[in-house]
Amino acid sequence: MNYLLRWVGFALIGTTLSSCSLIKSQLGLRHDSSQLTPPVVVNDKPQSAPLQPGENVIVRAVDRVGPAVVQIDVVKKVNNSLNSIFGIGPSTQRQQGQGSGFIIRSNGLILTNEHVVRGANQVAVTLPDGRSFKGKVLGGDPITDVAVVKVVADSLPVASLGNSDNLRPGEWAIAIGNPFGLNNTVTAGIISAVDRTNAVGEGQRVPYIQTDAAVNPGNSGGPLINAVGQVVGINTAIRTAPGGGLSFAVPVNLAKRIVQQIVSTGQASHPFIGIQLRNLTPRLAEEINAAGSGCKVPKFNGVMITDVVPNTPAAKVDIRRCDLILGVDGKSVRNSTEVQLAVDRGQVGRPMLLRLRRDGNEITVEVRPKELPRRN
């Protein structure tokens, strides 16, 4: 999982989102642009009942989720440019990969990591009971590392989804997956931290859950569950060091939003307003003011706009370089990552209010985000 994408930049760098046509007849969905259309049903598992005193919480939690955890095997075709140039072998080679996932709809909707199925030509999904199905990637989002796979089946076991917004450090954290091909391996620890926006680099749009539950290659895409047997995250990345390592998971509430978008349209949507940001400190403010760059900023901790991309939503409403961002949609922000996450929680085309400080005065600007550009 060290091959996780690193996302840098806030406004200038887009990304390619793989998409696939929907199997609407299998999902029982209809696409309707009307605002009255009900949201996509992400999960059809009833909420789990609380465990009774004296029960082994880890055993019971695993019993509830384990049958819905799947092994995902993929085959990718990779171009071999040297072989093609020198004629010493085939120009393409087959690479095999493996990861985990979990069933979120009984009709075969599966949640996993985007990097598990990225570029896959063939996808095979194997259940703990031995059944195997051919999978189809409905879409994936490299920014959040969330992907949706569909198999043709009915009455499959389903993992119940919890509420990752309510997580607190110290709670049980249980990981289930297929590390090194050892299917349905269970490890346990605690929630070490939440909202880790600097877990795998800067410029992220994911407030990761940090846990000390052991996660290894092959766990990617598997569920992180709580003591009640509800999925609260998708195991995604690890950071290793001599003597130990840390694990990170995508919060399930964020994953739900991405799944709804992928199932509805075949791709994820990320708002974009067209600004570059820098965290401001009193010392940096002194340097900026002394440099004669044209910016005069107060000596405090905050967020400064360093550039506005021409012909973007921010440029159209006269957001300027050197403006300081104090809040987004009524919520105060302290650093550039909080601004980025707040913008990403918005919607393309829906007005967003930015509270700015400019030349000592506070102003409020309404901006309508566009779709984040995607690289080909």
pLDDT tens profile 269-304: 899 999 999 999 999 999 988 887 788 889 889 999
CATH class of 24-265: mainly beta
This prediction has a pTM of 0.77
- List the domain boundaries for the chain: 24-265, 271-371
pLDDT bucket at 204, cuts 50 / 70 / 90: low
Give the model's pLDDT for residue 54. Answer: 59
- What are the angstrom distances between the C-alpha of 241 and each of 146, 245, 246? 26, 6, 9
Q: How far apart are CA 227 and CA 59, in angstroms?
A: 9
Give the model's pLDDT for residue 294. Answer: 82
More confident residue, 22 or 58: 58
Residue 71 has pLDDT above 90, yes or no: yes
The answer to whether residue 247 is catalytic is no
Q: Which two tokens stand for residue 46?
A: 């009833």
Place of tokens 């895409």: 221
pLDDT bucket at 69, cuts 50 / 70 / 90: very high
Once rounded to an integer, what is the mean pLDDT over residues 233-242? 84
Choose, from 18, 115, 141, 270, the residue flagged as catalytic. Answer: 115
The answer to whether residue 220 is catalytic is yes
Choose, from 145, 160, 164, 264, the residue flagged as catalytic. Answer: 145
Work out the percent of the chain whose per-residue pLDDT is above 90: 60
Given 2.60.260.20, 2.30.42.10, 3.90.1150.10, 2.40.10.220, which CATH number is that of 271-371?
A: 2.30.42.10
Residue 235 has pLDDT above 50, yes or no: yes
Distance of CA 73 to the CA centre of its chain: 21
Residue 332 has pLDDT above 90, yes or no: yes
93: left (phi over 0), alpha (psi -120 to 50) or beta: beta
Once rounded to an integer, what is the mean pLDDT over residues 70-81? 84
Give the model's pLDDT for residue 47. Answer: 76
More confident residue, 78 or 76: 76
Q: How far apart are CA 133 and CA 122, in angstroms?
A: 11
Give the model's pLDDT for residue 6. Answer: 34
Choose, from 100, 164, 220, 336, the residue flagged as catalytic. Answer: 220
| Sequence letter at residue 142 | P
User: Of the candidates 264, 275, 339, which has an alpha carbon nearest to the alpha carbon of residue 310?
Assistant: 275
